[in-house]
Amino acid sequence: MSRLAEALKRANAEQELDQSEQPEAAKREKPAASLPKLAVAEAAAKPEAAKLESAVKAESAAVTATGSEEPETSPRVTSPVTSLIAEKLVVTPSISPVSLEQYRRLAATLHRRQTESRIKTVLVASTMAGEGKTLTAVNLALTFSESYGRNVLLIDGDLRRPTTHAVLEVPNILGSGVGEKHETDQKLSLIQVSPRLSVLTAGQPDPDPMSRLASDRMRRVLMEAAAQFDWVIIDTPPVGTVPDANLLATMADVVLLVVQAGRTPARLVQRTADALGRERVMGVVLNRADDLVVSSDSSSSYAYGPTN
């Protein structure tokens, strides 16, 4: 069982204990959400996804994954970078209380904005690679789903170098739909990480995903997701390297711009805000503000192509 699965299982067990102590009327206040139309059974039928779903949903004697099921269509990506990110997830014991509180404050700010203007789709962007964009997107999704009890869809919009699946330790299902080059009515495969958090993975890396991102299908996917989920969080490639996030920003309600303190030049941040559209940028997340010393091995390079 992965660290994330264990953490979510523990969090869900605690929440179920709290709910068992509530009056029956309070339990019926909000019915359990059904599996969204975007999801198909095959997403959870993959061996690894079935194990994860079983771990986070309930105690189970065994997982019903058999050798007759399809193998993973894309290998997992494991690297020191993704391992480091996984250790900083809000549901893991290793995260600092200060960081946990900051993510909750960020979620609270977005929650207030939603009550005022009905926003649902949040695009998380950055100027350069390594600024904490993916960590912010994943932790924001986890905070909304686990702390606020909202139904959340996390979309890996980085079709060139997807990493969200590696951070959450789920399969990078090929043909998730976001990466389809041809228009199709086939339903998309969501992976249900927890009862309230689903992930739409990117599939195999594509060095030229512009036609996908600009397609009517992508727009329909985001519209349908916004209709079925309380929040839709989109992780994207660095704006300063490729124009992918610029296209997705036109389909999102608001943009959060992640900036690493002491690293990203102010002029580049301003240029990124202009590229995304300043009217869409809701705010800036200043990452690592308490650690302005940048390590010598930091790099703004962004490698494309298949990852092993």
For position 103, what pLDDT does the model report?
Answer: 92
Q: Tokens 């993973």 map to which residue? A: 72
Task: Provide CB contacts within 8 A for 105, sequence distance 6+.
Answer: none
For position 216, what pLDDT does the model report?
Answer: 86
For position 181, what pLDDT does the model report?
Answer: 53
Residues of the chain with pLDDT under 70: 1-84, 86, 174-187, 290-308
DSSP codes, 230-283: SEEEEE---TTT-SHHHHHHTTSSEEEEEEETTTS-HHHHHHHHHHH-TTTEEE
Task: Give the three-state DSSP class for 175.
Answer: coil
Quick check: 256 and 125 in contact, CB under 8 A?
A: yes
For position 264, what pLDDT does the model report?
Answer: 85
For position 120, what pLDDT does the model report?
Answer: 96
| Strand residue runs (E) in the chain | 121-126, 152-156, 191-194, 197-200, 231-235, 254-260, 281-287
Q: What are the phi and psi torsion angles at 14 (to 5°)?
A: -65, -40
Quick check: 138 and 89 in contact, CB under 8 A?
A: yes
Q: How far apart are CA 77 and CA 50, in angstroms?
A: 18
Task: Give the three-state DSSP class for 174.
Answer: coil
User: Residue 293: which H helix or E strand, with range?
Assistant: none
For position 197, what pLDDT does the model report?
Answer: 95
Instruction: Go through the domains of the chain in sequence order and give each one's CATH number.
Output: 3-12+35-59+72-287 (3.40.50.300)
Q: Tokens 């299908």 map to which residue? A: 217
For position 226, what pLDDT does the model report?
Answer: 94
SS (H, E, C) 26-56: HHCCCCCCCCCCCCCHHHHHCHHHHHHHHHH
User: Residue 302: which H helix or E strand, with range?
Assistant: none
Query: Looking at the whole model, is its pTM more than 0.85?
Result: no
